[in-house]
Amino acid sequence: MNIELFEFTSVHTTSKLVELENESALQVIKSEKIMEFDENTYSKVENRSFHNGVIEVKVLSKLLPDAPDFARGFIGIAFRISEDDSSFESFYVRPTNGRVNNPVRKNRGVQYFSYPKYTFDYFRNRGITDFEGPADIGLDEWITIKAVIKDQKAVFYVNNEDVPTLIVDNLILGAKTRGSIGLFVDIGTQGFFKDLEITSYD
């Protein structure tokens, strides 16, 4: 669906409709919590409560001129966002990791996390690798991401592949959580989103 058909609320970000490659896209950039990872930094879809269903969107990531060396082009989706933005689940991609020769970085192309406590840093510090995986992606290109969510399970796909990129069998916020959907960016990212499709099962 055309991104112009949705209304958004910026949460610790600035967002605006722009023209990119002769198409409308929503540009999202962090405006607060600039140097904090895995925070509630997204543009939130208004008037939409989501529990189970499918979220699909095309994302394109550029690095900002002042992006730090560790910026990876972080961009993705948040879902089941609480009304006060104090908790949510998320999948995002790291486009700069998609095609590197470093096997450790390459395996960190995609990420699941659960706000506020269960960030990528939380998992890595405990040696938990279940919530990251590789993907053939890069900066400055449109990447299709899709999450299929059913109760406590979420399956994440990249670029219309038949095989999931990441499967999370136990969403940390639980099976019954319901909330908003957000278009997520992180440190150093100038993010663009188009063709958002939301299908609710309940």
Domain 3-200 of CATH type 2.60.120.560 = yes
The domains of the chain are located at: 3-200
> Which DSSP letter does residue 149 get?
E
The DSSP element (H or E) to which 28 belongs, if any, is: strand 23-30
Nearest to 76 by CA among 28, 34, 133: 28
Counting Cβ atoms within 10 Å, is residue 23 exposed (0-12), middle (13-18) or buried (19+)? middle
Q: Which residue stretches of the chain have pLDDT < 50?
A: none
| pLDDT at site 1 | 81
* Residue (of 73, 83, 16, 80) closest to 43 by Cα position: 16
pLDDT at res. 61: 98
Indicate the helix (H) or strand (E) that contains 42: strand 42-45
Q: How many whole angstroms separate alpha carbon 200 and alpha carbon 197?
A: 10
Q: For residue range 81-139, what is the model confidence (pLDDT) as tens digits? A: 999 999 999 999 999 999 999 999 999 999 999 999 999 999 999 999 999 999 999 99
Q: What is the pTM of this model?
A: 0.97
